[in-house]
Amino acid sequence: MVAREDIRIRSLSEIDIGDIVEIDEKIGGEYRPQVWERRIGYYLRRDPEVSVVAVEGDRVLGFMLGEVRSGEFGLEEPAGWVEVLGVDPDCQGRSIGRALGEAMLLRMKKRGAATVRTLVEEPMEDLGRFFVSLGFSPAPLVAYVREL
């Protein structure tokens, strides 16, 4: 468990769904409980030790979802994937994202990942800078998309 001030980092749990829905609604302006029930269920089934939440008292202030998996893009070695990061807008600037990231990276390393990857859309420059601050660098991969 990583601690900063009175903030604790712990494993994600089903009891966190309500707080995560609230954080997502503050960030995106949309109430989406079904989305988060499905997503959190997925990560708890796939890799329950990797995804983390930042809590102060009983309140979730932020969350980071991810997993360690093999066989992605034909690469057999286990790699960590950071999928989602959310920090309550009222709590930003308190290094919550950094604490979540450091905790997740440590958990991924313990699960056998030597590499951790994530994707950031180009317009999200702040998020890109955040990952650079955690030691990530742009990868020589090009994403291709086709609308159907």
Would you tell me the crossing angle of helices 96-110 and 125-133 to the nearest 10 degrees?
Answer: 60
From residue 6, give the alpha-carbon distance in Å to each of 54, 55, 64, 106, 141: 10, 8, 18, 20, 39
pLDDT of 3: 44
Beta-bridged to residue 81, according to DSSP, are: 67, 117
Q: pTM here?
A: 0.84
Q: Would you state the pLDDT for residue 5?
A: 64
Instruction: Tell me the domains of the chain and their CATH numbers.
Output: 3-133 (3.40.630.30)
Please give the Cα distance from 82 to 135 (Å, whole number): 13
pLDDT of residue 1: 46
- Kindly give the confidence (pLDDT) of every residue in the chain, 148 residues in length, as a single tens digit, with 9 standing for 90 and above: 444 568 999 999 999 999 999 999 999 999 999 999 999 999 999 999 999 999 999 999 999 999 998 876 677 788 899 999 999 999 999 999 999 999 999 999 999 998 898 888 776 678 888 888 888 887 767 666 656 6
pLDDT of residue 123: 67
Closest to 135 in 3D by CA, of 108, 14, 143: 108
Residue 43 has a pLDDT of 96
